[in-house]
Amino acid sequence: MSTIKDVAKLAGVSVATVSRIINDSPNVSPATRKKVERVIKEINYQPNQVARTLYQKKSRMIGIIIPDLNNRFYAQIIDGIQSILQKKGYSALISFSANSNKKNYLNFINEFQKNNIDGIITAAFDLPATLNLATPLVMYDSANIDDNVARIVSDNIKGGKDCISLLQNQATRVMIQHWPLRLPTVRERVESLVNELNKLNIPYILKKVSENDPEKAAQEVLKKSNRFDAVIAVNDIYAAEIIKEAQRRNLKIPADFQLIGYDNNVLCEYTTPTISTIDQQPKLIGQTAARRLLDLINGKKSSQNSIINVIPIKRNSTY
């Protein structure tokens, strides 16, 4: 088994220098760090995590809160977070909050802090206006509740604009399916959609639907299928249910109405027709959130908010 002395000898540096690099000390030149990290990888050296934790006085554990276990969007965010944490020797403790309410989130945050978690990454829709936490915190897919809290989100304003651009000026009345507007990301996206449609003088219908029942939501939308020629769905799962309901009603997409989803879920390529959508780059959101949190843990200053670009994906559900 390789030791820290083996790493030092092969890299031509002192044991103390290797120790500083393992423990993320900033007092090492980039060239030396790169050389030592290359040797560590080549000989597959595994640092003693117990000793490392004691030295740094850190648990090397990150708490992550997600609102939906079944939504692939959040699964990809977790994948992005984990890809960064693992490289830095951190583990994750993941908690699930189905109801996205203030009490649940605060309970999870309090439990994380009691267990000496080094930092927290959370999607939070309903937290106090000001959070006084001793533990570094980064939010994703969340409202900007506090100027002192880092926030990583996709560009919901551009997302709304891109939805309208996918319709290519061929819609004359648009149905906007949405979740409750208390959710900040939903509100931003809907406001952007409405602004773009108003600029183009295109009438629209706002249809609030359940957060947990895409099948029922599809039925409610298509009760009014004679009143629109385009639907912008909450997300791709809801869009797929609209396709199924349209088929039951002998409606053709895009001939009877165009359809746009959101998230670029893998299912978009397997429906008939395939679904035009907006890719929010969730893995990049997760990676950015993890990097930001590690910066905070290590006392590095960085900009608070990051807006991740979205990408429109045209498929067969639009012209």
Q: Looking at the predicted structure, is the pLDDT value of residue 56 above 60?
A: no
Query: Distance between CA 31 and CA 160 in Å, rounded?
Result: 44
Q: Looking at the predicted structure, is the pLDDT value of residue 112 above 80?
A: yes
State the pLDDT at residue 57: 59
State the pLDDT at residue 54: 47
User: Is residue 163 a contact partner of residue 194, using CB atoms and an 8 Å limit?
Assistant: no
State the pLDDT at residue 212: 85
The more confident residue out of 108 and 61 is 61
Q: Looking at the predicted structure, is the pLDDT value of residue 145 above 70?
A: no
Query: Distance between CA 32 and CA 19 in Å, rounded?
Result: 12
Query: Distance between CA 203 and CA 174 in Å, rounded?
Result: 7
State the pLDDT at residue 131: 58
Superfamily of domain 156-279: Response regulator (3.40.50.2300)
The more confident residue out of 91 and 59 is 91
State the chain's mean pLDDT as an integer. 88
Residue 175 sits at φ, ψ, to 5 deg, of -95, 120
Lowest mean pLDDT among 8-17, 141-150, 190-199, 213-222: 141-150
Q: How confident is the model at residue 237 (pLDDT cuts 50, 70, 90)?
A: very high
Q: Looking at the predicted structure, is the pLDDT value of residue 130 above 80?
A: no
Q: Looking at the predicted structure, is the pLDDT value of residue 143 above 90?
A: no
State the pLDDT at residue 313: 98
**Topology (CATH) of 4-56:** 434 Repressor (Amino-terminal Domain) (1.10.260)
Taking alpha carbons only, the member of 181, 170, 189 closest to residue 228 is 170
pLDDT (average), residues 266-279: 98
Q: Looking at the predicted structure, is the pLDDT value of residue 76 above 80?
A: yes
Q: Looking at the predicted structure, is the pLDDT value of residue 68 above 90?
A: no
pLDDT (average), residues 162-167: 97
171-205 pLDDT tens trace: 999 999 999 887 788 899 999 999 999 999 999 99
Taking alpha carbons only, the member of 177, 154, 163, 141 closest to residue 312 is 163
Given its phi and psi angles, is residue 281 left (phi above 0), alpha (psi -120 to 50 degrees) or beta?
left
Fold: same for 4-56 and 156-279: no
Q: Looking at the predicted structure, is the pLDDT value of residue 267 above 70?
A: yes
CATH number of 61-154+282-309: 3.40.50.2300
40-52 pLDDT tens trace: 989 988 776 545 5
Lowest mean pLDDT among 18-27, 180-189, 279-288, 303-312: 18-27
Domain boundaries of the chain, sorted by first residue: 4-56, 61-154+282-309, 156-279
Query: Distance between CA 273 and CA 154 in Å, rounded?
Result: 26
State the pLDDT at residue 78: 96
